Amino acid sequence: MGQPMVVGVDGSPSSLDAVETAAREAAVRGVGLRLVHAFGRTSSHVPRSGPPWSPAGAGVRELVDGTLAEAERRARDAAPGVELARDVAAGDPSAVLVFASRTASLTVVGSHGRGTVAGLLLGSTAGQLAAHGHCPVLVVREAGRAGGPVLLAVDDAPASAPAVRFAFAEARLHGAPLTAVHVCRPGSADAYDGAADPPFVTYDRGHLRDHAEQVLDAALAGCEQRYPEVTVRRRPVIGRVRHTLVEASADARLLVVGARGGGGFTGLLLGSVSQAVLHHARCPVAVVRDGRE
């Protein structure tokens, strides 16, 4: 059996959805699942009076036990044969899960938990884990489309290679096709030919599409040979990155994006684009870092 998976548990509906998804993923992979509950300053649902396990903190143990018991029940209902373990830690949930991800094959969290505004990831456990986790991180938003493809956001940065490998492995694992998307944005530095001031540039759409196809060919070549059983569809797109990825996610089972070791998303998936994907994707989002700090 390989490294176990980890799922963050706080009792919120979003985290329980993540538990069910994690249990099914663990079953497919043939690995165990650790249910990790952390409480600290960011866990507003934990009583503040007294040390958490002292008599003065009466009720906290019952609260935590109840939260984990419900998570365990949901996991067993979703995947009865998965080996489960419970972990409880005192500390900031983000830091606890980042640490736990060091020995995990995949870390799963809901898109929002207790004490956060639904749908927003900025500064949340999910956002921090996606930026700093030591293994691929699966953020469970809406359920992916059954039978849909694995959607891979491709750019031409070397840091995206682990995300490409992860996406192919996921497609093979689930018997799903893979749709690889590269978006060229008119107005970017490589979007026009010849010397001209940007306000006066006439964009060559044929050149943009050729460039997108070249990026896709280069990024996918090695994995297509390694995973010949995976059906691959290339989608070179000229347009807006955020809009393209969010719209395409509505028909996908999973969206896979790459991230640099420092926490920023690679290439075209920087800043507001990464936030838009995590905030608005219509399926679970897997964030795969390249491991370089």
- 173-177, 191-195, 286-290: which is most confident: 173-177
Longest Cα pair distance anywhere in the chain, in angstroms? Answer: 74
Q: What amino acid occupies position 32?
A: G
Across the range 125-152, mean pLDDT stands at 88
pLDDT of 22-58, one tens digit each? 999 999 999 999 999 987 654 444 444 444 444 444 4
Q: What is the rounded average pLDDT for all residues in the chain?
A: 80
pLDDT at 185: 76
Q: Give residue 192's pLDDT.
A: 42
What per-residue confidence (pLDDT) applies to 81?
Answer: 92
Mean pLDDT is highest, among 202-206, 214-218, 258-262, for 214-218
Query: Closest by alpha carbon to 252, among 151, 172, 175?
Result: 151
Helices (H), 176-263: 205-226, 241-249
CA-based nearest residue to 236, from 199, 189, 285, 184? 184
Q: How far is CA 173 from CA 146, 164, 176, in A?
A: 14, 14, 8
pLDDT per residue as tens digits for the range 48-94: 444 444 444 445 566 677 889 999 999 999 999 999 999 988 888 88
Average pLDDT over residues 164-183: 96
pLDDT reported for residue 289: 82
Q: How far is CA 191 from CA 79, 86, 91, 158, 218, in A?
A: 48, 51, 47, 20, 18
256: left (phi over 0), alpha (psi -120 to 50) or beta: beta
**Per-residue model confidence (pLDDT) at position 1:** 67
Q: What is the pLDDT of residue 44?
A: 42
- At 233-273, the pLDDT tens digits run 999 998 888 889 999 999 999 999 987 654 444 544 434 56
pLDDT at 198: 52
Quote the pLDDT of residue 63: 67
For 62, other C-beta atoms within 10 Å of its C-beta total: 9
pLDDT at 57: 47
Residues contacting residue 256 through CB under 8 Å, at least 6 positions apart = 150, 151, 152, 153, 163, 166, 167, 170, 285, 286, 288
List, in order of start, the domains of the chain with CATH numbers: 5-46+54-140 (3.40.50.620), 150-288 (3.40.50.12370)
Task: Tell me: pLDDT of 287 over 80.
Answer: yes
Q: How many residues does the structure list for the chain?
A: 293
**Of 13-17, 21-25, 52-56, 164-168, which gets the smallest average pLDDT?**
52-56
